[in-house]
Amino acid sequence: MEKIIINGITDWEAPGTEAFINPRLPSHDQEMMFDLLNHVPDLGSHILLMTSGSSVKNSLGHKWVAISKQSMLVSATAVNATIQSDSSDIWINVLPVFHVGGLAIYARSHLSKARVVDFTAEYGKWDCLKFYEFVLENSGTLTSLVPAQIHDIVAAGLRSPPGLRAVFVGGSFMNELLYRRAIDLGWKLAVTYGMTECSSQVATSHLCNDALEILPHMEVSVSCDGRFRISSQSLFSGYIIQENGKAKFIDPKTDGAFLSDDIGHVEGRRLFVKGRIGDFFKIGAESINLRRLESILSEVMLRIRPAFDAAIIVMPDARLGHAIHMASTDETGAKEIIKAYNERVLPFEKIREHHFIPGPPGLPVLPRSPLGKIKMGELVEKLSR
């Protein structure tokens, strides 16, 4: 291993492998990772990123995605072309650089010569009002956000800064109501679908149009079980996994194509994402799509605007196989949310139980990844105990 990065930016032209680690991990876990990664096979000029949503507790057991720097730059070239980015642009970065969403911004700026101003370097924690002021102060023209951040902006009623010409939105699903309200406030959104294994974006919408168009450097087909099969020069090289305390490199691609866990269909160059294999559960004899239920809860939260965090969780159930529960950081206000949600879903999709999860003072939040995704496994494990 040439270099292990805790909090920094890679040299895109330098040889050697560089690993990006979440600086919030406990020092003991970081030391164990250093020891593991220093025994990674020589991959050449590569970047190692942990898969999104990895928990601190199980971080050493998760996959690392090995991406060549050239693959990152192939992706960056395509994304720059979609928004015609050049040296006159100023990127406002709020995403962690140990995630492909944040690191990809620096790859794009390396090619376009655009300037990057890092919001997190100055403020650390996300705050939509401070972000808004930061964009104005730094004359930002481009940024990437996740749906949770768009939700905060819309809930605060913030109109888009006039100089901000494009906002990429990815990392998780964004419901239609949230999208429309952001557009009404003048935010020029470009919805994206991507993954770490593809060095960032696979498909992107035009501004203020949520239809996903497959980027020119990507080829996407659908397997017999509905999963996306992806081919591109921006694909990752393989995974680094821990096996018997040692680092092992594996390449899961077949004939140069990667079979993802996302399912949907393709029409021409248009991509339609239905969800992930893990989003589908059986309740009794009925099939449910967790992504759809999360979207309904998100719309309810956006309409009611409670001052607490809430999430749908799928809990094991001895009789039905699974059951829908809700976790929130409020004991009493959750009743209104549950009532409004239950009025919009089928009987077997209704919330059967509420779990109060206490949090820190202020606006407590449920356990989430750096990109705002609920850590479902962590919640289910905690509540099962």
pLDDT at site 254: 95
Q: Could you report the per-residue pLDDT of 7-57, keeping only the tens digit for each?
A: 567 788 888 788 888 877 777 777 777 777 777 777 888 999 987 433 323
For 168-180, the pLDDT digits (tens) are: 999 878 888 899 9
Average pLDDT across the chain, whole number: 88
Topology, domain 3-276 = Rossmann fold (3.40.50)
- The confidence score (pLDDT) of residue 4 equals 61
* Angle, vertex CA 192, rays to CA 189 and CA 193, nearest 5: 160
Q: How confident is the model at residue 88 (pLDDT cuts 50, 70, 90)?
A: very high
pLDDT band of 377, cuts 50, 70, 90: confident
* Sign for the pseudo-dihedral over CA of 171, 99, 58, 251: positive
CATH superfamily of the 284-384 domain? ANL, C-terminal domain (3.30.300.30)
Long-range contacts of 240-248 (CB under 8 A, 24+ apart): 240/37, 240/40, 240/48, 240/63, 240/64, 240/66, 241/63, 241/64, 242/36, 242/60, 242/61, 245/36, 246/36, 246/39, 247/36, 247/37, 247/39, 247/40, 247/41
Which of residues 58 and 338 earns the better pLDDT score? Answer: 338
Q: For position 58, what pLDDT does the model report?
A: 36
pLDDT of residue 64 exceeding 90: no
Tokens of 18: 């560089």
Helical residues (DSSP H) of 201-249, grouped into ranges: none
| Angle (nearest 5°) at CA 149 between 148 and 152 | 90
Q: What DSSP string runs through 61-88?
A: GS-EEEEEHHHHHHHHHHHHHHHT--TT
Instruction: Give the pLDDT score at 56.
Output: 29
Kindly report, residue by residue over 218-247, the tens digit of the pLDDT: 999 999 999 999 999 999 999 988 777 677
Q: Where are the domains of the chain?
A: 3-276, 284-384
